[in-house]
Structure 1
């Protein structure tokens, strides 16, 4: 999944405009919550077939960290 598609996915989960999401954004600052975690796990599995570890997901701080969980470099 390329960066543009990934940011579009994050924006969709957060229900915000993609222009409002950047890899450097801190998750706490953009409204990421436990519901977003659940959606992210499901969407990434569906989109690219990668199973996200919930314990690892709980440790991430930025959008780039999220992307790293998908196996792609940020």
Structure 2
């Protein structure tokens, strides 16, 4: 999954309009909550067959951190 596809996933998860979010946005400023976490985990599993580490996810502060979490999960496969 490249950065563009990843940003589309985040926009879908938050039901945000395309192009309204930035890679550097802080999760606490874009209404990322526990429901977004669950949706994100499910979509990553569905699209990539990858299990997201919930501890690493909880440490994520930005969209970029979420992307790094996905990269780590893919490498761990």
TM-score, normalized by the shorter chain, greater than 0.5 = yes
Partner of 2:8: 8
Coordinate RMSD, CA, aligned: 1.1
TM-score by length of 2: 0.88
Q: Distance in 1 between matches of 2:7 and 2:46?
A: 16
**Structure 1 unaligned residues grouped into runs of 5+:** none
TM-score by length of 1: 0.91
Q: Distance in 1 between matches of 2:6 and 2:38?
A: 16
Deviations 1:33-58 (A, max 9, x none): 00000000010111111100111111
Partner of 2:53: 53
Q: Distance in 2 between matches of 1:64 and 1:41?
A: 16
Aligned length: 72
Q: Distance in 1 between matches of 2:69 and 2:49?
A: 12
Runs (4+) off by over 4 Å: none
Deviations 1:20-71 (A, max 9, x none): 1111000010110000000000101111111001111111000000001111
Per-residue deviation at 1:18? 2.2
